[in-house]
Structure 1
Amino acid sequence: MEWNRVIPTFTNFNKTSSTFFTLWEDPQDDYIEFDRKYKQLIKKYAESKGVLPQFDLPPNVFNVSSIPWTHFEHFSSNSKISENQLTTMLTMAKYEQYSSKLLMPITVQAHHGIVDGYHISMFIDRLQDEMNK
């Protein structure tokens, strides 16, 4: 199966109940526009008590996760109960200054049936280029 576009899903934190929920947003051609829509979305659902406040997820998603409270060397959320083992997941941690550089750990979990190490390295290189701007 090949998707012409994939949709990012991301968790958000309800500060009142200390629980998480999953949101998704259509990709945009412009990062500034995506960021604006993302901020509107998390504000709209900030007090959500349901796991999926937007209801059904689109079928062509990838997960973006963040653990901004801590730094990690490795993270894995492998689960035998996951329905879709083909869904890619990106997990980022707290960024920290090391010498004159800011470092942010990122873990990419992807099924080898849909992506190779080459494609992940292309993603990492592009992410680094964007963060250097």
Structure 2
Amino acid sequence: MEKFERRRDRFDLFNGMDSAAVNICFPLELPDFRPWCKQEGLAPFHVLLFAVLRSVLKVENFRYRLLDGEVFRIDRLRPSFTAINQHNDLNFALFDWSDNLREFVARGVAAREQASNMERLNTAYASLGLREAKEQVFITCIPWLAFTSIQHPSASIAHPDIPSLAWGKFRDGAPGRLELPFSVQAHHGFVDGFHIHQLASTIAAELEAIISPAA
């Protein structure tokens, strides 16, 4: 937490505001990993989710959380994301982490199928303890839209310490590249624009490592 203590005065500044959230939407440029996913039989959404969550853990500022007025750093993530059910209503998919990409994707696909087959809202997250619930990052994908802005709901607008990430419709970029609209909402006491840049760069590097042949 030494790194956080260096910016505690920034935290105190933003945490005292009516809304401490910073929300940036931008076109995220990535290596085009879709051909690799097709070759490997893996769903692009879940491969990207794996890269995104691994990147969140690598950029320390996205690991800070707030509980009972105290700041702490999470050491793990509980993957979750939004899905739609058979009536096109939103639901939540939750599953256990795996460091193995194929196992992670398999668990994510199974969680999506479970959430998609539920009429009622999946409230499994409600069984988590207060500290366990902080081990989340809120993920939503809107694959039909190339959005340019987004407003995420927040249980407490004054303390949006759990980051909310969203991405939209893929589009072709330069040869071998793709772009997608990407949104990051986080507590400004923890995260600045530079850290969002770090997250974007780390996601691209993670995907490059996944699709590149082993040396």
What TM-score, normalized by structure 2, do the two folds share?
Answer: 0.54
Q: Could you say if the C-alpha distance between residues 51 and 114 of structure 1 is closer, same or farther in structure 2, counting changes exceeding 3 Å? A: farther
For residue 84 of structure 2, the aligned residue among 13, 16, 36 is 13
Specify every segment of 5 or more residues in structure 1 that has no aligned partner in the other structure, as ranges.
none
Return the alpha-carbon distance in structure 2 between the equivalents of residues 91 and 55 of structure 1. Answer: 19
Q: CA RMSD in A?
A: 2.1
Number of residue pairs matched by the alignment: 130
Q: Equivalent pairs: percent with the same residue?
A: 24
Q: Relative to 1, partners in 2 of residues 1:119 and 1:20: Cα closer, same or farther, differing over 3 Å?
A: same
The one-letter amino acid of 2:103's match is E
The offset of 1:49, in angstroms, is: 1.5
Q: Is the counterpart of residue 23 in structure 1 residue 87 in structure 2? A: no
Give deviations 1:6-62, integer Å, cap 9, x for gaps: 223211101x21101112222221222111111111123322122225352541211
| Alignment-mate amino acid for residue 79 of structure 2 | P
Distance 1:119 1:28, change over 3 A: farther
1:34 is paired with a residue whose SS is helix
Query: Which runs of 5 or more residues in structure 2 are unaligned?
Result: 1-71
SS of equivalent to 1:110: strand
Give the equivalent residue in structure 1 for 2:179. 103
Instruction: Check if 1:59 corresponds to 2:133.
Output: yes
Letter aligned with residue 10 of structure 1: F
Aligned equivalents of 1:11 and 1:66: distance in 2? 7
Is residue 115 of structure 2 the alignment partner of residue 39 of structure 1?
no
The structure that is helix-richer by fraction is 2
Amino acid corresponding to residue 115 of structure 1 in structure 2: V
Over 3 Å counting, the alpha-carbon distance change for 1:36 and 1:125 in structure 2 is: same
| Shift, 1:121, TM fit | 2.2
CA deviations 1:61-118 (Å, max 9, x no partner) are 1111110011122222255xx2462110110001011453321111111112233333
In 2, distance between residues paired with 1:128 and 1:112? Answer: 23
Structure-1 separation of matches of 2:125 and 2:152: 23
Q: Residue 125 of structure 1: SS of its match in structure 2?
A: helix
Counterpart residue number, 1:75: 150
Separation of aligned partners in 2, 1:78 and 1:41: 22
Q: Which amino acid aligns with 2:162?
A: T
Which one has more relative contact order, counting CA pairs under 8 Å at least 6 apart? 2
Partner of 2:192: 116
- How far apart, in 1, do the equivalents of 2:93 and 2:100 lie? 19
Contact 2:138 2:164 in 1 (8 A): yes
